[in-house]
Structure 1
Amino acid sequence: MSIIHILDGQTDVILATSSKFYNDVHRETLKNEEIFDFIEPITSKASPYLNKRNRVIIPTDDGFFKEFIIEKAYQSKGGIEVYSSASYFELMKAKPIAPMTLSSYSVEMLLDFILNDSDWIPGIKVYDGIKTIVFDEYTDPYSALKKVADEFGLELRFRIETNKNRITGRYVDLLERVGEWRGKEITSGKDLLNAKRIEFTQNIVTALVGVGPQKENGKRDVVTVANESARQAWGRNGQHLWGIYQVPDDGGNEDMTIQRITQLTSDELQKRISTVISWEVESADIEHIFGREHEKVRLGDQVRVKLTDFNPQFFLDARIISREGSIRTKAQKKYVLGEFIEYTAEDIKSVKRMLQKQIEKKLSETQVLEITYPKGDIDEKLKDVPITDDNFPDETPPTPENFEGSGLFKIIQLKWDYSPSSLIASYEVYA
């Protein structure tokens, strides 16, 4: 049974608890958008306190807690509809940060500075380097945290810690990546309930007019960039689909050359010439079934999805960028997938054919002995000898053959034939 706690919005004192709430929805995204909505019976002892920006503490699937601030509450005969948002949004209302330049600051120093006048404190930090951060104008601490995360290429996570039903700390973590690969597969016939493949074409253009930032003399440089292949694919009666792109001000308008404006406009056009695909998946939440603990899915996790009841069939490698469900009834969850790679059944067959060809290139026993020892000899030689960088054969392997590069959604997929002619510790790909 799930229990939520209602806290006084100013003192954090517990005012009431409730286990009678219903129709609840907890939604969280990697963009740090998080809400908790529910309905409380009008006769509940907690109902008088669901107002005045009081706070709601909810449990998570991992035994931790999340904190929300009540933004709206509608009272009717049936109950009180409560709409709350994550308490870390209050950082938008903390003391603003004046325009300034923070030179050679570490992540820890930046978190200390930004969170200094707030209820939040620095948590886990994974970046050891330093950077110079420039705030061109007044900004709120929440936006400042977003800027720091972008500059360092990290992801934000907000969490609270409690002890005996009291909040002991509100922490801001900056991680290399929220979530992990747990080996989870969402599969038709097992836990996949529904899936939607959504295709967006509304924002497609085939040519852009790039307008540069305003100079001191009041003028702006203007360039035109077009894509012929996109015109043939999307244009009507041979005409381009046009758009206007305001090139962002990078703080050095006088140094913004025509070449730079053209490059930025061209980069923007590349984002707009293709269909935007998104996936929404509804899955049965089976991790709470005995023996299925390994089936859990968390925000940011990498998962595989097998849609074998689609026509055509789809297979996805994807990341959970949004997660939605009830904390009271954990029967199912809704996920939005991002950073995904789509495979069709034909793609899978193609990979199998490639592997089959490699298997068919069997080496004779003589060829095998030329590059290695019999298994028995290897076992004897390696007995009680740990493999380290000092005894791993340092031999340059041949250049990979049949190399292919495919541009996918936010990802470049690289393929090449595996070569058994040498011992390869790892591959490194440069630009």
Structure 2
Amino acid sequence: MEFYQYDRWDNPIGPIAGILAARHRQEAGGENSLTLTTIGPLAKGDRIVWCDEGTWREHVANEPSATRDEDGVVSYETYCEDALAELFRDKVDEKRIRSGTATQGLTAVLEQTRWSLGTVTVTGSRTKSFYHCSVGESLQSIAETWGGEVYSSFAADERGITRRYVNFVGAMGSRSTHKRFEYRKDLLSVKRTVSADDVYTAMRGYGKGEAVGDDEWGRRITFADINSGKDYLADASALARWGRPDDKGGKAHAYGTAIFEDCEDAAELKELTQQALDDAKEPKVAYECKVLDLKGLGRSWEGVGTGDSVQVIDTAFNPALRLEARIMALDRNLLEPADVDVSIGNIRNDIGSEYAAQAAKINALQRRSASWDVAAYTPSSYINQIIDGLNKQFDAGMSYVYQSPEQGIIVGSVPLDPMSGKPTRLPAS
């Protein structure tokens, strides 16, 4: 396998010689990295182009390091990120998609970049705003809003990469591989982990804050008007399995809350809330499997790719483990094809538990942001009325002025202390 080096301006440098180790990791809708260990250095920003079984890939050297061992030999290890990451350095000033498709959203945010729209299979209409953010952040937001996975692909010729594509699909990989990992065959070990995320049997859904009104400051829209007066959706089967005792001999729902900042339509909000409930009404389970890559031993029909659906059968568990799952990540030694780490499951843990507190704070801020939205969109005429009213009250009495280099000019309706600038009697206005 050859790796071709280009400088940050896409000028060819040549094949990379003296590769001691090469490892590629790809997650479904997530990390796509290449780590090279070489006898010579790579510069930060260099582009690495290589062909992966007929698929062209491009990575960018992002974190070079050099190590000298006890014998005085220096080796160089370079972590290279997906070239798609350059979109986190491209900007989006202001774009708004109203009841539009994912294709429209992608086209809008990629408009000023050198990337083209590739395969898009995600359907549905959503409303989404992009304001003073990076293109990369916009792609993440599109994946969350429309639901799907983003990945890069490339076209190349003898000159190097000729086209760069952003693809957006419901799920990467194949749904019909018929691949089975089995105990005593190619399934070496299994670790089963149940996520710490809460399970909800009912989900409240809230959209964008309503317009300014006498009694509706910051109130978020709901779908109660089209859902028999209820601002939540519930699942009876989830209640039977995951509800909590209600102290009356029955079961009570475990309520979750989903907030969709850009949603302004009740029907769309209900659909989004149903999706959130479907995702939260069962515990998420991940399986980390160590497998023997039979493809690397010459059995090409045993190969799998990132995102593929597979079966896992382990009779060492009691009862036997039989499940349908996805290849969530492949970590491959490119110089030794049989050395592969496979992560199998229905979730991808990309945020550790140490971020749980931060997530809670973010959710709290989201719940309060509707009132901030109202303030941001309050008509200037309304603000001017308030200012005029205050000025009239102020002008009705005497004004006392205090000035200092440290505190500037202070105007009050009561006498001010000449040293501190504070009121000498109350009430002060």
State whether TM-score is above 0.5.
yes
Question: What is the match of residue 86 of structure 1?
Answer: 82
Of the three residues 27, 31, 48, the one matched with 1:56 is 48
The answer to whether the Cα contact below 8 Å between 1:161 and 1:168 also exists between their aligned partners in 2 is: yes
Question: What is the match of residue 156 of structure 1?
Answer: 150
Question: What is the match of residue 182 of structure 1?
Answer: 177
Q: Which SS does the other structure have where 1:28 is aligned?
A: strand
Following superposition, the deviation at residue 197 of structure 1 comes to 0.8
Following superposition, the deviation at residue 72 of structure 1 comes to 1.3
Distance in 1 of aligned mates of 2:241 and 2:301: 46
Q: Which SS does the other structure have where 1:182 is aligned?
A: coil
Deviations 1:361-390 (A, max 9, x none): xxxxxxxxxxxxxxxxxxxxxxxxxxxxxx
Question: What is the match of residue 30 of structure 1?
Answer: 28
Structure 2 residue identity aligned to 1:115: L
After superposition, the Cα gap between the structure-2 partners of 1:8 and 1:183, relative to the gap in structure 1 and judged at 3 Å, is same
Following superposition, the deviation at residue 233 of structure 1 comes to 7.8
Q: Which SS does the other structure have where 1:9 is aligned?
A: coil
The answer to whether the Cα contact below 8 Å between 1:247 and 1:264 also exists between their aligned partners in 2 is: no
Question: What is the match of residue 356 of structure 2?
Answer: none
Q: Which SS does the other structure have where 2:261 is aligned?
A: coil
Structure 1 residue identity aligned to 2:62: E
Question: What is the match of residue 336 of structure 2?
Answer: 329
RMSD: 4.2
After superposition, the Cα gap between the structure-2 partners of 1:15 and 1:243, relative to the gap in structure 1 and judged at 3 Å, is farther
Question: What is the match of residue 68 of structure 2?
Answer: 77
Distance in 2 of aligned mates of 1:163 and 1:126: 27
Distance in 1 of aligned mates of 2:255 and 2:66: 47
Question: What is the match of residue 310 of structure 1?
Answer: 317
**2:71 is the counterpart of 1:67:** no
Of the three residues 90, 110, 115, the one matched with 1:120 is 115
Q: Which SS does the other structure have where 1:142 is aligned?
A: helix
Following superposition, the deviation at residue 309 of structure 1 comes to 2.6
The answer to whether the Cα contact below 8 Å between 1:6 and 1:16 also exists between their aligned partners in 2 is: yes
After superposition, the Cα gap between the structure-2 partners of 1:316 and 1:206, relative to the gap in structure 1 and judged at 3 Å, is closer
Aligned residue runs from structure 1 range 277-356, under 5 A: 277-290=285-298, 292-339=299-346
Distance in 2 of aligned mates of 1:207 and 1:125: 32
**2:261 is the counterpart of 1:249:** yes
Following superposition, the deviation at residue 297 of structure 1 comes to 0.3
The answer to whether the Cα contact below 8 Å between 1:8 and 1:15 also exists between their aligned partners in 2 is: no
After superposition, the Cα gap between the structure-2 partners of 1:140 and 1:183, relative to the gap in structure 1 and judged at 3 Å, is same
Distance in 2 of aligned mates of 1:212 and 1:105: 19
After superposition, the Cα gap between the structure-2 partners of 1:137 and 1:323, relative to the gap in structure 1 and judged at 3 Å, is same
Structure 1 residue runs of 5 or longer lacking an equivalent are: 341-431
Following superposition, the deviation at residue 304 of structure 1 comes to 1.4
Following superposition, the deviation at residue 339 of structure 1 comes to 4.1
After superposition, the Cα gap between the structure-2 partners of 1:158 and 1:272, relative to the gap in structure 1 and judged at 3 Å, is closer
After superposition, the Cα gap between the structure-2 partners of 1:312 and 1:126, relative to the gap in structure 1 and judged at 3 Å, is closer
Question: What is the match of residue 9 of structure 1?
Answer: 8
After superposition, the Cα gap between the structure-2 partners of 1:96 and 1:247, relative to the gap in structure 1 and judged at 3 Å, is closer
The answer to whether the Cα contact below 8 Å between 1:105 and 1:132 also exists between their aligned partners in 2 is: yes
Following superposition, the deviation at residue 89 of structure 1 comes to 1.3
Following superposition, the deviation at residue 298 of structure 1 comes to 0.6
The answer to whether the Cα contact below 8 Å between 1:99 and 1:137 also exists between their aligned partners in 2 is: yes
Question: What is the match of residue 226 of structure 2?
Answer: none
The structure with more radius of gyration: 2
Following superposition, the deviation at residue 66 of structure 1 comes to 1.5
Aligned residue runs from structure 1 range 90-239, under 5 A: 90-101=86-97, 107=103, 111-125=106-120, 134-148=128-142, 155-164=149-158, 166-175=160-169, 177-180=171-174, 181-201=176-196, 203=198, 216=212, 218=217, 230=242, 232=244
Following superposition, the deviation at residue 6 of structure 1 comes to 2.2
Question: What is the match of residue 225 of structure 2?
Answer: none
Q: Which SS does the other structure have where 2:285 is aligned?
A: strand
Structure 1 residue identity aligned to 2:325: A
Distance in 1 of aligned mates of 2:217 and 2:115: 43
Q: Which SS does the other structure have where 2:43 is aligned?
A: coil
Question: What is the match of residue 420 of structure 1?
Answer: none
Q: Give the structure, 1 or 2, with the largest relative contact order (CA under 8 Å, sep 6 or more).
A: 2
Deviations 1:194-253 (A, max 9, x none): 211112346457899998876645455899999686464899xx999998847343454x
With normalisation by structure 2, the TM-score equals: 0.61
Distance in 1 of aligned mates of 2:121 and 2:272: 31
Q: Which SS does the other structure have where 1:300 is aligned?
A: coil
Distance in 1 of aligned mates of 2:112 and 2:278: 42
After superposition, the Cα gap between the structure-2 partners of 1:333 and 1:205, relative to the gap in structure 1 and judged at 3 Å, is same
Structure 2 residue identity aligned to 1:308: T
After superposition, the Cα gap between the structure-2 partners of 1:190 and 1:251, relative to the gap in structure 1 and judged at 3 Å, is closer
The answer to whether the Cα contact below 8 Å between 1:153 and 1:176 also exists between their aligned partners in 2 is: yes
Distance in 1 of aligned mates of 2:274 and 2:144: 22
Identity of aligned residues (%): 21
Deviations 1:172-199 (A, max 9, x none): 2344543222221111222112211112
After superposition, the Cα gap between the structure-2 partners of 1:310 and 1:332, relative to the gap in structure 1 and judged at 3 Å, is farther
Structure 1 residue identity aligned to 2:6: L
